[in-house]
Structure 1
Amino acid sequence: MRLLFIHAHPVPESFNRALCDCAVATARERGHEVRLIDLHAEGFNPVMSAEERRRYHDDAPPPEDVAPHIDALRWAEGLIFVYPTWWYSQPAILKGWMDRVWRPGVTFTVPAKDAPMRPALTNVRLIGVITTFGSPWWFWTLLMGAPGRRIILRGLRFCTARRTRSFWLGLHEMDTQTDSARRRYLELVRRRIARIPL
């Protein structure tokens, strides 16, 4: 499978980067075609300009910095997001990436009036998330309603193939976890990626 990993963490020596490295290495070992978008490493600009927004629904070519990301989305059969959950959702750079890259005509179509939107990224048949949280699971899930999960596994998934499969892996209370708990989570990530069919 052609797997596109999207990583969003500013610190290269972070545990989150270790999670990304583990997932990417496992996918390559299993024989998948792999691409990695490291948003911070490439200096991706998450801010949509006024002019970009004015042309958002036009058929004009996307901005030059966005075009390679669109190409990667169209290449991929699986999308795997690796990021920390901050303030109950995706980091700003990843949310900005969604705003700028998941555009009309690329990931969804806007048909005539009174007709529903339709998915356009039907080459994608797997979406996965590998994340960490500062909060306990009950706070994020029961009190906050899991907003970050809904954005990806409902919102973005709508734009993909009809029977797109998904997975969600999360390590809660990251700041107080032991080294052994982090190692167990890395192993969980490795096993889950190893199960993705070619």
Structure 2
Amino acid sequence: MRALVVYCHPKPDSFNAGVLRLVLEKLDAAGAEVKVSDLYADGFQPILSAGELDSYLDCPGNVGPVEREVEKVRWCDTLIFVYPTWWYGLPAMLKGWLDRVLLPDVAFLMPDQHNATIRPGLTHITRLGVFTTCGASWWLTRFIGAPGRRTLLRGVRLLCAKRCRTAFAAHYLMDSSTGPSREAHLKRVSAKLDKFLGLARERGAGSAVSA
């Protein structure tokens, strides 16, 4: 397993940082090779410039400004996002990563004389995980339409392998969270990751053998 974790939060002591640590622990337990794109710590530039837009369809030259990130995307078979939901969607930094990195001939193939619409370009990705926090409640987030979740678990998911496995967990009402609510959420994330990464099956097999 080759996992790319895209992490987006400006504060190293955030609850999201705790979720990231749990994700990395679980990946290590699964024996995965791991690369992390810590967008704030890495100083990622999220703005798609006029020059990049002009060369957006110039493949493969369009990857030049973000070649390091593109190489990570092409390398991984597991893609995991950890971020806070702001205004019901993705932080500007993360949206900028999608804009600049998930390019034509990287994430999707453009229409041509034989195809009227775009085609998936991330078919090497067989697992897609999304772990976030939301200040709003579950019902309000759903009422608005959960645009951040839809962007990743529908939009990006459609570009991945046909049977791509997904995992999602959100701590809602984060602004009024408590120690117990955060602890309970980390337990949910842990269980989701065990299933997502196949650790639950491994433990079950081990129990059967020992019994």
Q: Which runs of 5+ in 1 are unaligned?
A: none
Alignment of 1:29-178 (within 5 A): 29-62=29-62, 64-113=64-113, 115-141=116-142, 143-178=143-178
1:180 is aligned to 2:180: yes
Alpha-carbon distance in 1 for matches of 2:157, 2:62: 22
Deviation at 1:122, TM superposition (A): 0.8
SS for the counterpart of 1:58 is coil
Deviation at 1:86, TM superposition (A): 0.1
Contact 1:84 1:133 in 2 (8 A): yes
Give, as a single letter, the amino acid of the residue that structure 1 aligns with 2:32. H
The structure with the largest alpha-carbon Rg is 2
Higher relative contact order (CA 8 A, sep 6+): 1
Alpha-carbon distance in 1 for matches of 2:136, 2:145: 13
Taking only aligned residues, the RMSD between alpha carbons, in angstroms, comes to 1.4
Map of 2:207 onto structure 1: none
Deviation at 1:111, TM superposition (A): 2.7
Q: Deviations over 1:120-176 (max 9, x none)?
A: 1111011110000000000010x2011111101111111111111212100100011
SS for the counterpart of 1:127 is strand
Alpha-carbon distance in 2 for matches of 1:177, 1:138: 16
Give, as a single letter, the amino acid of the residue that structure 1 aligns with 2:119. R
SS for the counterpart of 1:182 is helix
Give, as a single letter, the amino acid of the residue that structure 2 aligns with 1:117. I
Alpha-carbon distance in 2 for matches of 1:38, 1:137: 27
Alpha-carbon distance in 1 for matches of 2:171, 2:153: 17
Alpha-carbon distance in 2 for matches of 1:64, 1:106: 12
Instruction: Quote the sequence identity (%).
Output: 41
Q: Would you tell me which structure has more helix in proportion to its own residues?
A: 2
Q: Deviations over 1:51-88 (max 9, x none)?
A: 11000001242454511111111111111100000000
Map of 1:3 onto structure 2: 3
Alpha-carbon distance in 2 for matches of 1:13, 1:60: 38
Deviation at 1:186, TM superposition (A): 1.2
